[in-house]
Amino acid sequence: MQKKDLHQFQLEFLEIVENSLALTKLLSMPKSIDMKVKKFEHILSEFNKKYGDLKLEKGQKVEKSILRIFIKKDDLLLLLKEHFLKIPGLRTIGGEGYDEADISHSEEFEEVLKHINDKVYISYQFEGGSCSCILRREKKRLEILYVSEDLFKKNSPLMLLLSRLALENMRPEIDIFKKDGHLGFKDLLSEDEKRQVLKKFEPRFLE
């Protein structure tokens, strides 16, 4: 994994995440909102072309514009074993909830793995704190459920995971922001407003 490519992916991805949060504020600023949403959707389309194993989608409604992240793989268990379980900081997994099996208890861990089907709960512990996510089958696609705030933590396992997936099938010749430039939506939000948006719109599946 080239450091240059890794750095580029993280810059582009976090730019999109931050601007997706800011779309919530644009609801109260109806002027030109349709054009701004179309611009955002074009950026997402370019991102999805560049990083072929990932697909980003905004929510069905603009007011729930936190990004959805899909992985273009068919086998959930294989994806889990080849990627999620190899990320440093792995702590627990579960088929019905978190903390069913700790990585330090190998027999228990392997037993839980045998029964993973369409959903798995995963938690990590790292220098910057902790984070959790869910990998699930959504119809015929695999989706990661996550908390956006975890992406911005230093040395985030979730960010490392997405980076590795993205760079496996990348088209470096695509410049995501070439046509539309940097979105600039995120400049509409103060740090306090970002936290308020996260608190209001993030799913509560991790509790």
By the 8 A CB rule, do 132 and 87 touch? no
For the whole model, what pTM was predicted? 0.82
User: What distance in Å separates the CA atoms of residue 103 and residue 151, rounded to the nearest whole number?
Assistant: 22
Domain spans of the chain, in order of start: 3-201
User: Is 172 in a helix, a strand, or coil?
Assistant: coil
Residues 6+ apart with CB under 8 A from 73: 53, 79, 142
Model pLDDT for residues 129-154, shown as the tens digit of each residue: 999 999 999 888 999 999 888 888 88
Strand order through the sheet with 129-138: 54-57, 68-71, 141-145, 129-138, 119-126, 90-94, 101-102
Model pLDDT for residues 59-97, shown as the tens digit of each residue: 765 444 568 999 999 999 999 999 999 999 999 999 999
